[in-house]
């Protein structure tokens, strides 16, 4: 057995192992106190990168869920306005039915006054229904491209050019054949117009991506001449879309268009019931308006149903992402507690052994005794 006092190899060995055990104990304390297996890049650089990506997606999914809730609130606001207008149209039909009967006599003026007031109230609701200071039911809340050139033409509404190419179009109408043609570049599409006869309908230029609805009072020649005179131009509009996903792609957005509920769009702007004959004619116009409004409400319902499915899918996505991120980053408390206990014992034992190793050189003094 050799005794050396310049270098205590046993103490150095004990100190090195004590340092390893102490580092392990500190790491276990960090993980147990934070709840994370990965607290810095040195713990697991690849795992940290994947975990960070998941956390960013999880945060975005939560925002998308809030977007859906607010989108539902917006749609409910618009649907509430439409419900009020539906009640007004019902009352207007009651008044028209009353005015169309000979027994109303000279009181028809009073009935007509109430009717006119209700017409004005519809426009007030359409122009004042807003969400976050954004108009909803005046025809300006739409997705995709827009046009204003045909919006002032009588007896048509809901002019949809969201999928049409931007730029100017050439419009031509033939009173002989009742054919309305629209040309863009080398593409020409033609449809045949016919008098509405009290029934509202829709005209679609599917190839060009243009459509519009007409009221029951539409007369083919009158409308065709008006459209021929009014130049059609399409411009890129502000997109009315809800961000219902966490990525940048078309599937993560829901484009929404809310129909106008103005009296011009519903076809009741020009009507009156000042005479029994006019009141009789107004019955068909009001029925058409009720049908048009019902279609608009159905579209709102379709949007709300899609939002409900999107919310359900996001909830599942959030659960899966959270589970995946937890698997990568979170610490296994049972396993880490076992490691902590082991390192704690090793630190205690290492401290004791270091003390013993430091005491060994003291035995050299016994050799120096005389």
Dump pLDDT digits (tens) for 299-309: 999 999 999 99
Residue 370 has pLDDT above 60, yes or no: no
Residue 65: which of 250, 249, 319, 323 has the closest Cα?
319
For 39, the 3-state DSSP assignment is coil
Are 263 and 119 spatial neighbours (Cβ–Cβ below 8 Å)?
A: yes
Task: Answer for the pair 325, 246: CB distance below 8 angstroms, yes or no.
Answer: no
* Domain boundaries of the chain, sorted by first residue: 107-295
pLDDT digits (tens, 9 = 90+) for 63-120: 999 999 999 999 999 999 999 999 999 999 999 999 999 888 888 889 999 999 999 9
What average pLDDT is seen over the chain?
86
Distance CA 359, CA 295 (A): 94
Among residues 274, 270, 269, the alpha carbon closest in space to that of 104 is found at 274
Position with higher pLDDT, 317 vs 239: 317
Residue among 207, 77, 237, 49 nearest 142 (CA)? 237
The DSSP string of 155-218 is TEEEEE-TTSPSEEEEEEEETTTTEEEEEETTEEEEEE----TT--EEEEETTTTEEEEE-TT-
Q: Give per-residue pLDDT as tens, 137-174.
A: 887 787 666 666 777 787 787 787 877 888 889 999 99
| Residue 170: strand pairing partners | 183
122 burial (CB, 10 Å; 0-12 / 13-18 / 19+) is buried
> What is the C-alpha separation between 184 and 116, in angstroms, rounded?
42
What pTM does this model have? 0.68
Each residue's pLDDT tens digit, 324-347: 988 888 888 888 889 889 988 988
């Amino acid at each position: 057995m050799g005794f050396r006092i310049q270098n205590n190899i046993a103490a150095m060995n004990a100190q090195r192992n004590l340092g390893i055990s102490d580092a392990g104990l500190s790491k276990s304390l960090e993980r147990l106190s934070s709840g994370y297996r990965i607290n810095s890049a040195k713990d697991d650089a690849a795992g940290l990168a994947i975990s960070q990506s998941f956390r960013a997606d999880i945060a975005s999914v939560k925002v998308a869920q809030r977007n859906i809730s607010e989108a539902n609130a917006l749609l409910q606001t618009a649907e509430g306005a439409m419900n009020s207008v539906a009640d007004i149209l019902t009352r207007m039909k009651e008044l028209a039915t009353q005015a169309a009967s000979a027994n109303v006599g000279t009181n028809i003026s009073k009935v007509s006054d109430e009717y006119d007031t209700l017409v004005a109230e519809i426009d007030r609701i359409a122009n004042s229904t807003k969400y976050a200071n954004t108009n909803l039911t005046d025809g300006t809340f739409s997705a995709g491209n827009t046009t204003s050139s045909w919006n002032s033409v009588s007896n048509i509404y809901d002019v949809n050019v969201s999928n049409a190419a931007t730029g100017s179009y050439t419009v031509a109408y033939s009173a002989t054949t009742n054919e309305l043609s629209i040309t863009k570049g080398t593409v020409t599409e033609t449809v045949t117009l016919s008098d509405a006869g009290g029934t509202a309908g829709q005209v679609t230029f599917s190839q060009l991506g243009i459509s519009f609805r007409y009221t029951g009072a539409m007369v083919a020649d009158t409308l065709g001449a008006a459209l021929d005179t009014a130049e059609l131009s399409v411009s890129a509009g502000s997109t009315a879309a809800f961000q219902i996903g966490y990525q940048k792609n078309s599937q993560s957005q829901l484009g929404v268009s809310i129909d106008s509920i103005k009296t011009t769009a519903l076809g009741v702007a020009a009507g009156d019931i000042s005479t029994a004959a006019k009141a009789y004619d107004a019955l068909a116009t009001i029925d058409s308006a009720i049908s048009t409004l019902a279609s608009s409400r159905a579209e709102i319902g379709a949007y709300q149903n899609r939002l409900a499915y999107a919310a359900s899918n996001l909830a599942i996505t959030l659960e899966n992402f959270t589970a995946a991120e937890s698997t990568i980053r979170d610490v296994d408390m049972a396993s880490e507690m076992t490691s902590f206990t082991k390192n704690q014992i090793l630190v205690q034992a290492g401290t004791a052994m270091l003390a013993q190793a430091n005491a060994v050189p003291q035995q050299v003094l016994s050799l120096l005794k005389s």
